[in-house]
Structure 1
């Protein structure tokens, strides 16, 4: 059996790079994406390389970033725009393989083994993809070329930006073993501390460590990391269209007045569910978990979630599940000031699943067509051009336009 050829492509400073394309006036100036620049709160999601040289880091508060880099420009995130670029990147990848496994919006593993007879070796394919990303999308990628996913990912991290690094069997010990153990995929902060305590500082130290000692300190994860360090990862790259590149789509709002009864909550939940469901449809996703967050007027808050029977992006279903979760978990000891709805555990909207005997496929199809028609009307004539009858019960609460204030949550690395 011939050796696999696995690439890991990582869009350099993804959000910031895309924003630079849309803000040519900021060329050569430090830029960061994150938070709310007007309200001056929130954190940095991505900084460009100029800002990084000043010490701006992901997760840093905006005011901290401003302290280390006074000339920085902050831009609010536009996740729909970044998802569009992600989809265009996957269209390029699809010309080389159908085995694409997204790792967040900006990263993806590609098994191009089947393309090497036509396109050349992994390095040639990586160069072609890199050139196309620059010429067709205007952004750069760093690509790792290896025989498995773990070292392909390590290769794309090895040198940035706009670089290609090989991690073949004949060279991974020379290139990878001298790197800090924290660079290895799935070695998070906590695991790194445990490894440091037993003298494992590099990936090579991990590879050479007695696996029984690792197991005694880390359990099964010790065995897995030892295998990764020694190049024994044989996990497959999953077929395209089976994983969503983001973790959840959610909206929350602080209401114009305190909510004091179930009917008040139902109005706001339906508004939020309309926004969440519309965003899911717009970006080609369905959710398998519905979650709500509630905060009362004394700032006590909680979240609850429910695994649902069928993946869905139907507004009525998401709203009904969210309202059910609420009524089962809130006893009205205090009025409510803020509420949120989120769809998570996402799959793409061509996800196949078995329908049970008691579900009405025809009814669900009618609901989906109705939602699509509402989306089209609102796209053409504005959000308020078509409303649910429920919204006319309270004009103050129904004036919330959550669709324009949505949140899309990208995958975390160690989620």
Structure 2
């Protein structure tokens, strides 16, 4: 029996939530981002008026302002978005207990067992759309299909407020002509690799030689081949299951270009402090670290490496980021945006190998110290206790990157 999987994507979610509180911006170009006066941040979401002016999610604020001089920027309010995200998921849970979040604004729903009560997949999608719009003032785009991968493609097909049915029989006609970068797990680096090899559409990927794809990309090549052919049996998690976060990251766009190692080190320390704090909050440690560097030509470099042991300590993440930077830097350099992502996460306390020369007592004390600082910051504000190295240039390190963070409930794919 074919499953019936919905992928529900809240349209322009952050911007939609903000317009509930700022209805005066509904028909004016508006985007949620950072601080344009400090050239800080990117467009996280935009409304339809901004989209019509060519503004794109993910571009720098100054780029959006060039396209649309009268655009209004609002700072992100993640606690507010989390509240509305929870309210949307509560409506989803009326139809199934298999609700799997993919970020704050997207969810998969397995409604295979709900059809006798509520109708077929498209009927359920319409009911959910109506309830979310009437109760919360937010529109959804929904893909209806036989697995998670294809349903996610469907939710992108008709935006905003659309429903797209993609049955298995429509794979060749509706899915294969799509650009390969639309497929789940195909990010910028993978897209560039595939295009260099002459693979530009999902159909070309589906009809490629799987052995050749494996030679190019290892196991990921085999997985992408399967996804392109509609082979994805991964289950939708239940609403009450703990979904282990696979990566936690912070990035920031600085008020000026970073042109020397001292500045790079300061900003990496700011980011490492934030990432480590959030790891500890969730009881997690990182086995791998990844850095991203974006230059003045908007070219992005990412590089990653395994850590010597799992960690949730700021200093160890900072040291790892600098080690990676030394491996990839090409002088002279000028970076306007840098980031750190903790990857391959595990629960704190999982056994690890003791390293030669390591002082476990010192490490335990350092963790206790940073945990105590976490508590002070929670009670009295994030600026109460700071690393001394962050006080030398507050124009670079005076912000709080935790307010613009990234948590990936599925593995980050370059």
**TM norm. shorter chain > 0.5:** yes
Aligned counterpart, 2:7: 8
Within a 5 Å distance, the mapping from 1:6-405 to structure 2 comes to 6-34=5-33, 36-40=35-39, 43-79=42-78, 81-83=80-82, 85-90=84-89, 92-93=91-92, 96-97=95-96, 99-117=98-116, 119-169=118-168, 172-173=170-171, 176=174, 179-182=177-180, 184-186=182-184, 189-190=191-192, 193=195, 206=204, 211=207, 214-215=208-209, 219-220=213-214, 227-228=226-227, 230-238=229-237, 240-244=241-245, 247-250=248-251, 273-280=272-279, 287-290=286-289, 307-308=306-307, 314=312, 317-323=313-319, 326=322, 342-345=340-343, 347=345, 351=347, 354-356=350-352, 374-385=373-384, 391=388, 396=392, 401-403=398-400
Q: Give yes or no for contact 2:268–2:318 (8 Å, CA) kept in 1.
A: yes
- Counterparts in 2 of 1:251 and 1:414: CA distance versus 1, 3 Å: closer
1:409 paired to 2:409: no
Aligned counterpart, 2:217: none
Any stretches of 5+ residues in structure 1 without a counterpart? Answer: 296-301
Q: Give yes or no for contact 2:6–2:144 (8 Å, CA) kept in 1.
A: yes
DSSP-derived class of the 1:19 partner: helix
Aligned counterpart, 2:297: none
Shift of 1:84: 5.1
Shift of 1:127: 3.5
Shift of 1:142: 0.9
DSSP-derived class of the 1:109 partner: strand
Shift of 1:156: 0.9
DSSP-derived class of the 2:156 partner: helix
Bigger drift between 45-54 and 131-140 goes to 131-140
Could you tell me the TM-score, scaled by structure 2's length?
A: 0.67
- Counterparts in 2 of 1:126 and 1:286: CA distance versus 1, 3 Å: farther
Shift of 1:7: 1.4
Shift of 1:305: 5.7
DSSP-derived class of the 1:152 partner: helix
Shift of 1:145: 1.4
Counterparts of 2:56 and 2:325 in 1: how far apart (Å)?
39
- Counterparts in 2 of 1:3 and 1:217: CA distance versus 1, 3 Å: closer
Q: What are the superposed Cα offsets for residues 199-245 of structure 1, whole Å, 9 maximum, x if unpaired?
A: x86x6x659x8x4xx21896348876665455443333356533438
- Cα RMSD after superposing both structures: 5.4
Aligned counterpart, 1:299: none
- Counterparts in 2 of 1:164 and 1:395: CA distance versus 1, 3 Å: closer
- Counterparts in 2 of 1:58 and 1:346: CA distance versus 1, 3 Å: same
Q: Give yes or no for contact 2:249–2:339 (8 Å, CA) kept in 1.
A: no
Q: What are the superposed Cα offsets for residues 243-291 of structure 1, whole Å, 9 maximum, x if unpaired?
A: 4386513569799xx9999xx9999877654433334456786544346
Q: Give yes or no for contact 2:76–2:404 (8 Å, CA) kept in 1.
A: no
DSSP-derived class of the 2:340 partner: strand
Counterparts of 1:363 and 1:115 in 2: how far apart (Å)?
55
Higher gyration radius (CA): 1
Any stretches of 5+ residues in structure 2 without a counterpart? Answer: 215-219, 295-300
Q: Give yes or no for contact 2:109–2:236 (8 Å, CA) kept in 1.
A: yes
Could you tell me the TM-score, scaled by structure 1's length?
A: 0.66
Shift of 1:38: 1.5
Counterparts of 1:394 and 1:107 in 2: how far apart (Å)?
36
Bigger drift between 25-34 and 152-161 goes to 25-34
Aligned residue pair count = 386
Counterparts of 1:254 and 1:31 in 2: how far apart (Å)?
22
